[in-house]
Structure 1
Amino acid sequence: MSQLGEIQQAILNDDLGAVASLDVPEAYRGVTVHADEAGMFEGLESRDKDPRKSLHVDEVPTPELGPGEALVAVMASAINYNTVWTSIFEPVSTFKFLERYGRLSPLAKRHDLPYHVVGSDLSGVVLRTGPGVHNWKAGDEVVAHCLNVELEGPDGHNDTMLDTEQRIWGFETNFGGLAEIALVKSNQLMPKPDHLTWEEAASPGLVNSTAYRQLVSRNGADMKQGDVVLIWGASGGLGSYATQYALNGGAIPVCVVSSPEKAEICRKLGAELIIDRNAEGYKFWKDENNQDPKEWQRFGKKIRELTGGEDPDIVFEHPGRETFGASVYAARKGGTIVTCASTSGFMHQYDNRYLWMNLKRIIGSHFANYRESWEANRLISKGLIHPTLSKTYALEDTGQAALDVHRNAHQGKVGVLALAPEEGLGVRNHELREKHIDGINAFRNV
């Protein structure tokens, strides 16, 4: 049996104490993009770029373990939109990130390679820890958030997201989670929720933490009870968590979706106010360069019909270019538009009169700090927020999983199995699981 096979068997047999005594393999399989293929999609529109052509499953050397770091045997991972961006080399090739990181220090130089092991989520078991790690040990069952920071300067010590060397692991660093082994900093680790399977536990990390900071945290919109929250893509990876946080926090979500099936998912979560933007036929852009304010007005009228005349206190933004003008218009006077992404385009346009004359605020929100990630994971562990996993692929089929996300042919989150040989493994707390099984399975088979 191979070294990875021995590690896998020990985990599957719940013999976690044996993990520390097993040798770490010199190589493992990881999902990669290649630097010499960064130009492969030149001339194609974004929608025509196929992640199945650029994402490879390669055997790669296990990286050197440095101070404050951990190697994790990855049981499962998940697809995020940053994996799609990486796979289609947009808006820039991630090899620029790795080169820049590699200039930081001799240890960081490990990341500057002609291949990039991608992925910003994982659940698994700690294999080894480097010097200076005290809170984690080999055999611990963990999930990882994706904030990678150095914290050698003062800027990040109030909010680690402001660290001058803040990066997203698996996107702006190498050795990510779509692999059999991953390299993380120890302050990325959090306890695995014990009522979830490996693939369920791997799926919330990035999007759950992002939604928590964006909507709940004082660093984001600081949502309160009774707030009307407009949520774009409310059944998607980010939006499904925003919907849960709004409901869990006593707010009133207005869920924007693109199909009756996605509307039904929001109803399963407990939302009542839903806009099917395709059924309503909203066209916020007349052409490539001009928006249609009349459509903003029609959209705002629909929101008020649902809410009894109220405009949104908070707009949860992430589509970007396509929707941002409508978002700024729709927010109430003194309201907040909080944005964390731009999946439909980065260059936003809006009518500034609706912003400045109505005292609205735009807040930029990017992932989450360790405390926010820990709080978001704690809510998962307590069964107050649930994973939104809809489908799981094998590591070899990561390209297809990324294509699903790229083309919005998915619901919630798409998982990927690594060392877990099948779905359904890793549950420790069956009683808590049974209590919340409907919530855990809300996105399954939709």
Structure 2
Amino acid sequence: MQHILDAIMQAEGATDPAAELRAVADLPVPDSYRGVVVRADEVEMFAGLAARDKDPRKSLHVQEVPTPTVGPGEALIAVMGSAVNYNTVWTSIFEPVSTFGFLQRYGKQSDLSKRHDLPYHVVGSDAAGVVLRVGPGVSKWKPGDEVVAHCLSVELEDAAGHDDTMLDPQQRIWGFETNFGGLAELALVKANQLMPKPAHLSWEEAACPGLVNSTAYRQLVSHHGAQMKQGDTVLIWGASGGLGSYAVQLALNGGATPVCVVSSPEKAALCRGMGAELVIDRSGYHFWKDEQTQDVAEWRRFGAEIRSLTGGEDPDIVFEHPGRETFGVSVYVAKRGGTVVTCASTSGYMHQYDNRYLWMNLKRIVGSHFANYREAWEANRLVARGRIHPTLSRTYSLGQTGQATYDVHRNAHQGKVGVLGLAPSEGLGVRDPEFRARHADAINRFRDR
């Protein structure tokens, strides 16, 4: 592993980094590597505890694991940087189900997929690094290429996946529903997960946008989502968080007006720093009277504050991801004919809303899940062009992944939380320092928050 890292480090400051990186093709692949795992024999370790009391620091382990063989259409990458997403939180607390069920089902699909059904699960759905090997049939990528990986894993053997790969019956999220994820020194991906690494970003910065930026792009911009247009008013929950911070940038970049919902003055300041002018601190709102009863008066008060900021307009689009806690008010405040576009449910999956406000006012609810390859590629292209910037706030070592995941679980973070893989320190991997300098303030906006 050290020889691989040494070869990659030769590209730092080199006049021709690509030439230096091609040397990895001649190096042997190690038999094992360090990865962050959950273990099948520990899935009951939090039995009886409430979700908020389950501690990822106890369930996530860094251990040596065997390097998988590289199959047709696949690539093995040296992971220099990765990031924590909420699906890693779910995996680590074994909610809503243990991910070992995903691995077992995938393992029954083919001789190749059997590799994924193991008593440990290497987690993580983001990565930036260098291609080490490619399998038979891969022609677009070669050893030495600097890449980022999106997390859509598809088989594409079914006709349903060829209009929108997210509809493939065998669609899975890499590192969550498959093994060999990105929180590790090496990762196994399908070659059609790879995209060019933005040259002006460090490894940890480049790893951060993958899942959340692509997810937000499909939700807001794509014709599969809300089809946001210039002039739209977009209500964004959790606007300073890992997902919301990209939704804010996409709204501003696309000529829409974001209304940012946050929970503290510090988070409000971050949104204003991104260029948003309309911000609501939701800490004074209580949308539920008790566990069973929502407070319609609070819905009305919230809607009135939105209109006071927008000059009387209701949101054309509500960007939903908290779920149970906010879904009722989201449906209520969307404008007549407006759209609530939803992914995830970090506050609970069982949503309740008053259907009169949906059907009588011709509103739509659109379900959205990650992104297809084209959407992920376009979202990454915006990052590479300096239109969308990483929202990295803090970076941890691989050995600190449990703490990083705990911070996300407890919402004790801003933006995205990065994790170093093989990279020995932050700030490495920048190949275009001049372009970076023009965007340095935006790139560092979330740092140390």
- Distance in 2 of aligned mates of 1:414 and 1:356: 39
- Distance in 2 of aligned mates of 1:238 and 1:255: 12
1:153 corresponds to which residue?
A: 158
1:6 corresponds to which residue?
A: 3
* Number of residues of Structure 1 aligned to a counterpart in Structure 2: 441
1:351 corresponds to which residue?
A: 354
Cα drift, residue 296 of structure 1? 0.4
- Distance in 2 of aligned mates of 1:128 and 1:17: 11
- Distance in 2 of aligned mates of 1:312 and 1:230: 6
1:389 corresponds to which residue?
A: 392
1:372 to 375, 378, 394: 375
What are the equivalent positions in structure 2 for 1:406-445 lying under 5 Å apart?
Answer: 406-445=409-448
- Distance in 1 of aligned mates of 2:129 and 2:22: 14
User: Equivalent residue of 2:133, what SS?
Assistant: strand
Cα drift, residue 203 of structure 1? 0.5
- Distance in 1 of aligned mates of 2:443 and 2:229: 25
What are the equivalent positions in structure 2 for 1:85-100 lying under 5 Å apart?
Answer: 85-100=90-105
Q: What are the Cα deviations for residues 69-89 of structure 1, in whole angstroms up to 9, with x where unaligned?
A: 000000010000000000000
- Distance in 1 of aligned mates of 2:22 and 2:350: 51
2:301 corresponds to which residue?
A: 298
What letter corresponds to residue 392 of structure 2 in structure 1?
L
Q: What are the Cα deviations for residues 266-307 of structure 1, in whole angstroms up to 9, with x where unaligned?
A: 0000000000011xx111001011101110000000000000
What letter corresponds to residue 327 of structure 1 in structure 2?
S
What letter corresponds to residue 87 of structure 1 in structure 2?
S
- Distance in 2 of aligned mates of 1:46 and 1:289: 19
1:107 corresponds to which residue?
A: 112
What letter corresponds to residue 302 of structure 1 in structure 2?
E
Alignment TM-score, normalising by the size of structure 2: 0.98
Cα drift, residue 333 of structure 1? 0.2
1:289 corresponds to which residue?
A: 292
1:68 corresponds to which residue?
A: 73
User: Equivalent residue of 2:336, what SS?
Assistant: coil
What are the equivalent positions in structure 2 for 1:15-414 lying under 5 Å apart?
Answer: 15-278=20-283, 281-414=284-417
Unaligned runs of 5+ in 1: none
- Distance in 2 of aligned mates of 1:274 and 1:184: 39
Alignment TM-score, normalising by the size of structure 1: 0.99
Cα drift, residue 17 of structure 1? 1.5
- Distance in 1 of aligned mates of 2:315 and 2:184: 41
User: Equivalent residue of 1:91, what SS?
Assistant: coil
- Distance in 2 of aligned mates of 1:306 and 1:323: 19
- Distance in 2 of aligned mates of 1:373 and 1:164: 19
User: Equivalent residue of 2:214, what SS?
Assistant: helix
Cα drift, residue 24 of structure 1? 0.3
Cα drift, residue 64 of structure 1? 1.1
- Distance in 2 of aligned mates of 1:233 and 1:33: 28
Unaligned runs of 5+ in 2: 12-19
What letter corresponds to residue 310 of structure 1 in structure 2?
E
- Distance in 1 of aligned mates of 2:327 and 2:285: 13
- Distance in 2 of aligned mates of 1:246 and 1:435: 21
- Distance in 2 of aligned mates of 1:67 and 1:213: 28
- Distance in 2 of aligned mates of 1:9 and 1:268: 38
- Distance in 2 of aligned mates of 1:283 and 1:352: 20
User: Equivalent residue of 1:384, what SS?
Assistant: coil
Q: What are the Cα deviations for residues 140-162 of structure 1, in whole angstroms up to 9, with x where unaligned?
A: 00000000000001000000000
User: Equivalent residue of 2:394, what SS?
Assistant: strand
What letter corresponds to residue 180 of structure 1 in structure 2?
E
- Distance in 2 of aligned mates of 1:129 and 1:298: 56
User: Equivalent residue of 2:324, what SS?
Assistant: coil
- Distance in 1 of aligned mates of 2:131 and 2:301: 53
Cα drift, residue 350 of structure 1? 0.2
Q: What are the Cα deviations for residues 29-53 of structure 1, in whole angstroms up to 9, with x where unaligned?
A: 0000000000000100000000000
Moved over 3 A (4+): none
Root-mean-square deviation (CA), in Å? 0.4
Cα drift, residue 319 of structure 1? 0.1
Cα drift, residue 200 of structure 1? 0.1
User: Equivalent residue of 1:306, what SS?
Assistant: helix
- Distance in 2 of aligned mates of 1:39 and 1:445: 35
Cα drift, residue 206 of structure 1? 0.2
User: Equivalent residue of 1:138, what SS?
Assistant: coil
Cα drift, residue 375 of structure 1? 0.2
